[in-house]
Structure 1
Amino acid sequence: MLDITGEKCPMTFVRTRLALDALAPGGHLQVRLKTGETYTNVTRSVRQLGHQVLDEHSEAGDVVVLRIQKAGG
């Protein structure tokens, strides 16, 4: 699981993209991030690259966990 709750934009997406790039097509990545601007930017950018957000759930402290499937699988 990639935890970017302590990161600021644009590093939140940079770290997410690097983790996705390391996966095989069709692989899954869980990303733990803050709600608000970080959530909006990361989910939008992931989808623009063709990846799919399979599900998400909220945790305490304004945190969301996304499960992303890398495109191509």
Structure 2
Amino acid sequence: MKARETVRLDLRGVKCPLNWARAKVRLEQMARGEVLDLTLDDPRGARDIPGAAEAEGYLVLEATARDGVFHLRIER
């Protein structure tokens, strides 16, 4: 079985809802099974993106926060 490809997207400095819009565009370009590794510093985006991603049918694998930086891993 092939390892899942990971696509990284750094959205630090991008505020909600623009960070979700950019992440969604990137997810739509990816192949099923690929993982989007998001980095952001907007607390609202970190709170809202997982729910928005799941509503669109994506799988949130991980959501962590450290020193005001949030990391989300979302599978296409």
TM range (shorter): 0.7 to 0.9
Task: Output the CA distance in 1 between the equivalents of 2:22 and 2:42.
Answer: 17
Q: Indicate the residue corresponding to 1:67 in structure 2.
A: 73
Deviation of residue 65 (structure 1)? 1.0
Give the conservation status (yes or no) of the 8 Å contact 2:14–2:42: no
Pick from 8, 30, 37: which aligns with 2:15? 8
Count of residue pairs the alignment pairs up: 69
What 5-or-longer segments of structure 1 have no aligned partner? none
Structure 2-normalised TM-score? 0.80
1:40–1:58 distance in 2 versus 1, CA, 3 Å: closer
Moved over 2 A (4+): 56-60
Alignment of 1:1-73 (within 5 A): 1-34=8-41, 36-60=43-67, 62-70=68-76
Deviation of residue 57 (structure 1)? 2.9
Structure 1-normalised TM-score? 0.83
1:56–1:41 distance in 2 versus 1, CA, 3 Å: closer
